């Protein structure tokens, strides 16, 4: 399966990316090369290959989430040009 430049551009726009013609051509080539590699796996005979699984269970302990006030919020707010009172101003990304 190959993607056209228009399809890649549509995906980029959905991701809120604006690509130049050169970037679009490079991205299209890169994605299509990757898809060709994936297609090559279809040629492999995997009938006698057992599914892979880890031999041991790994635990990954997570810290407990705690709400804590930042000690100097004003210092952080002064670092940005986009402040409204005690909040950062960010562009709207959801449409009403």
SS3 per-residue string spanning 44-89: CCCCCCCCCCCCCCCCCCCCCCCCCCCCCHHHHHCCCCCEECCEEC
Domain residue limits, the chain: 5-43
54 pLDDT more than 80: no
93 pLDDT more than 80: yes
91 pLDDT more than 90: no
Helix (H, G, I), strand (E, B) or coil at 35: helix
Q: What is the pLDDT of residue 61?
A: 84
- Min mean pLDDT across 20-34, 51-65, 71-85 is at 51-65
Q: What is the pLDDT of residue 16?
A: 93
């Amino acid at each position: 399966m190959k993607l056209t430049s228009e399809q890649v551009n549509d995906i980029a726009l959905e991701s809120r990316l604006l690509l130049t013609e050169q970037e679009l051509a490079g991205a299209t080539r890169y994605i299509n090369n990757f898809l060709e590699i994936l297609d090559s796996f279809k040629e492999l005979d995997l009938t006698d290959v057992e599914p892979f699984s880890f031999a041991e269970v790994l635990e990954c302990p997570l810290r407990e989430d705690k709400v804590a006030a930042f000690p100097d919020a004003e210092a952080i707010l002064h670092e940005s040009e986009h402040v409204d009172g005690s909040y950062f101003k960010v562009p709207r990304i959801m449409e009403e």
